[in-house]
Amino acid sequence: MRQRAIDGTNPTTGRGGVISSSSKFTSWKLQMHTINKALYKMRGKQPSPTGFDSEGNPVVKMEVSGAGHGYKPNKNDRQNPRRVENLNNAEVRFDKNNPTRPFTAFPY
């Protein structure tokens, strides 16, 4: 997880990519509750996302106390990313072709 904030390494595949923040939920239960809350907002005839990402996918952002922890890139020293102990927000992204199907969720 730390390596993504240094050189953009994908934690799943190990391939390099764009340097970005990296985070994970505190527990799987908290992740599940966050996804369920977002699914509730996107259900029905009038889905209500809080916004859209750069690809046009619906996004639901919410406040979740103690959602997770992670790393943010350090502009002054690229080899030592800043550890963020307490992230209190979460984002769930949905497929633009099927707005009832989430494809990622992460704390920020």
Determine phi and psi for 7, rounding to 5 degrees: -130, 10
96 touches 57 (CB < 8 A): yes
Please report, for residues 44, 78, 102, the alpha-carbon distance to residue 107 in angstroms, rounded to integers and kept in the order given.
Answer: 25, 22, 15
Q: What is the DSSP letter of 97?
A: T
pLDDT tens per residue, range 73-107: 999 999 999 999 999 999 999 999 999 999 999 99
Q: Which two tokens stand for residue 80?
A: 């030592």
pLDDT-derived band at 62, boundaries 50, 70, 90: very high
pLDDT-derived band at 3, boundaries 50, 70, 90: confident
Tell which residue, 100, 104, 40, 91, has the closest CA to residue 64.
Answer: 91
Task: State the residue for tokens 């030592």.
Answer: 80
